[in-house]
Amino acid sequence: MGRESHILIHDIIDEHEDRMVNLKKYYPFFKLCDHSLSQFKEGRYERIDMGYVTLAVLRFFIEENSFNDRDVTYGDYEAFLFQLLYRDFDFQESEENPAELIQYIFDKITNEGRPFYFDYYDPKNKRMKTGRSRLVESRYKDGEICYNISSDGIAFYLDTKETKDESKISIQQLLLEKMIRSKNFKGGVDVIRRINSEVSRLMLQQGEIVTLLSHNIFEGMKALEDFSESGLKWFAQEQKLFDENMQLVEKALLQAQTEGYNHQALEEIFYLNQELKKAMDRHEALLQACTSLQVQADEMMLKAKRSRFRRTMDFSDLLRQAMALDNIRVLESMTAPLFGLKIKKTFQLERLDDLLSCQADGEELGEQLLEGTEENYIYEDEIEEERIRHNHMLLLQILFDTLLTKKTITLENLHHLYIMKFTDNLLHNGDYFGFLAHLSQKPSYDLAQIRENPDTFLEEVMAELVIKDRKKEYEDLKFTLEFLPEERIMVDEDSYLTNIRFERRGM
């Protein structure tokens, strides 16, 4: 048997199980796609694509679990999917409430709490094996069930598409965190290798930018700007995730030593620790290279700007020529322009070529403001203040009308008048008790003086009422308040008001 045949058989037999284990993260998705919604509710929701819904739910879990660092409850999932159904599948308000459908989809994605099982053949041991995979995991926390995306779910989603809006290194590190927490240290090493591959790609890309800068400064600066937007801006986040994962590995290493893990597990953790340190060193080297690249690019840009200024006259060379020829008139070309200055400015048509070839810096264009009608905004506190003002005015009007007909009235009688006017709902209105508190701040009131100089919010309402109802002679009204703390007016079993005697003066 030749060497080539031996390698072929090794690839087929020895690596088969690893390949099947790697494929397990794809199995739940295709299993879910096979189970369409045609059998649910007599095919009423057959138009909903389970593949799209599954990927959307996984992205939602990644956003909440990894980027926002929070657990997902069923209510969070339900709100997200409810919005998705109405936005992407044209659900109508007239349709049946989709709560039952949302629960059905959730049961399918979580496989009702069980893992997805699939069988495959192990050629080494010549027997069938069963693989298992989950997309979503659950745990009990603070009195409720919380859900998190699994490491298989993250790995599957990341393999479906490379995103430009997020750091590939950060996303791989989120997967690494899942691997470490689930004690899959061997899988964590594979993730670190992918991180190193991405770091190597970025190192190669920054080297290409240096080469481009030396040939075309403008194209090089544009490439550097794109590189900064797609890679450099994530460095702080990536470094933070590196530190967090290193802490997890060190904690796992300490736990393995204290709890007496087997030799293989201990070796895997140690190897993972070494590989992660190497990855952090490579990432640090990339940061230093990119910082150096930025400085180098600034220097090359400055040099390019200087080289654009052409030397049109060498004064020292003219002086040497004049001395060699012993002829001072050689300096005429330098001095003549100084004695023949043109006050009237002119423009040479030849300069048009320079204007056309000059690459101007980007200008910020001003925003054109269109004429329109100004909108008046009414804020919540203004609405609340207007409501209080209106309610206080109604209560004051009854008090003033009563004092115009009676010289004296107590709060107990006034309280009954208010209840007769506004029913028992008055007792649940905070504006009423606020009105009494405002009214009790002073021992007497002179509405003629208040009309000219209101001192408090309630006096402003009084002045407004005096001006509004001139026919009722409120302006001449004066009254005093005599507080009777020993007399109580029961509001309910737990609260009461102390009585007050209102007495009209001078009329």
Residue-wise pLDDT tens digits, 333-385: 777 777 777 667 777 777 777 777 766 655 556 666 666 565 566 667 778 88
* 365 in a structural domain: no
Q: 78: Cβ–Cβ under 8 A, 6 or more apart, which residues?
A: 99, 102, 106
Task: Give the Cα separation of 446 and 451 in Å (integer).
Answer: 9
State whether 177 and 34 are in the same domain.
no
Between the alpha carbon of residue 12 and those of residues 16, 26, 123, 219, the distances in Å are: 6, 21, 9, 48
Same domain, yes or no: 205 and 287: yes
| 483 within domain boundaries | yes
Considering the domain architecture, whether residues 17 and 157 belong to the same structural domain is answered as: yes
Mean pLDDT of the chain: 79
The kind and range of the H/E element at 124 are: none
153 and 199 assigned to the same domain: no
Q: Give CA angle at 98 (96, 103), nearest 5°.
A: 145
Q: Do residues 66 and 124 share a domain?
A: yes
- Domain range for 89: 1-161
**Do 70 and 139 reside in the same domain of the chain?**
yes
The residue out of 141, 161, 181 marking a domain boundary is 161
Q: Are strands 408-410 and 127-133 parallel, antiparallel or unpaired?
A: unpaired
For residue 137, give the amino acid letter.
E
Q: Is the pLDDT reported for residue 1 higher than 50?
A: no
Phi, psi of 73 (to 5 degrees): -95, 170
> Is 326 part of a structural domain of the chain?
no
- Looking at the structure of the chain, the number of domains it has is 3
427, burial (CB in 10 Å: exposed 0-12, middle 13-18, buried 19+): middle
Number of residues in the chain: 507
Residues 200 and 231 occupy one common structural domain: yes
Name the phi and psi angles at 426, rounded to 5: -60, -35
The reply to whether 244 and 287 lie within a common domain is: yes
- Run of H or E including 490: strand 478-490
Q: Could you tell me if residue 359 is inside a domain?
A: no
Evaluate whether 431 touches 392 at the Cβ level (below 8 Å): yes
Residue 90 has pLDDT above 90, yes or no: no
Q: How far apart are CA 481 and CA 81, in angstroms?
A: 62
Whether 287 maps to a domain, the answer reads: yes
Q: Which of the listed ranges 2-6, 47-51, 338-342 does the model predict with the highest average pLDDT?
A: 47-51
Residue 266 domain-assigned (yes or no): yes
For 420-473, how does the pLDDT look when each residue is reduced to its tens digit (9 = 90+)?
A: 888 888 888 888 888 898 888 888 998 888 888 888 888 888 888 888 876 667
Single pTM value for the model:
0.40
pLDDT for the residue numbered 471:
61
Burial class (CB in 10 A: 0-12, 13-18, 19+), 45: buried
Q: Which residues contact 248 (CB under 8 A, 6 or more apart)?
A: 177, 180, 181
Higher pLDDT, 483 or 357: 483
Q: Of 266, 282, 307, at which residue does a domain stop? A: 307
Distance CA 250, CA 386 (A): 62
- Kindly state whether residues 150 and 194 are assigned to the same domain: no
**Per-residue buried b or exposed e for 266-293, using 16+ beta carbons within 10 Å of the residue's own CB:** bebbeebbebbeebbebbeebeeebeeb
In a domain, 357, yes or no: no
pLDDT for the residue 96: 65
> Is 209 found in the same domain as 127?
no
DSSP 65: I
Do 472 and 393 belong to one domain? yes
Let me know whether 61 and 86 are in one domain: yes
Which pLDDT does position 164 carry in this prediction?
Answer: 46
8 domain residue, yes or no: yes
> Domain boundary residue among 273, 307, 341?
307
Q: Under DSSP, is residue 368 helix (H, G, I), strand (E, B) or coil?
A: coil
Note the pLDDT of residue 475. Answer: 80
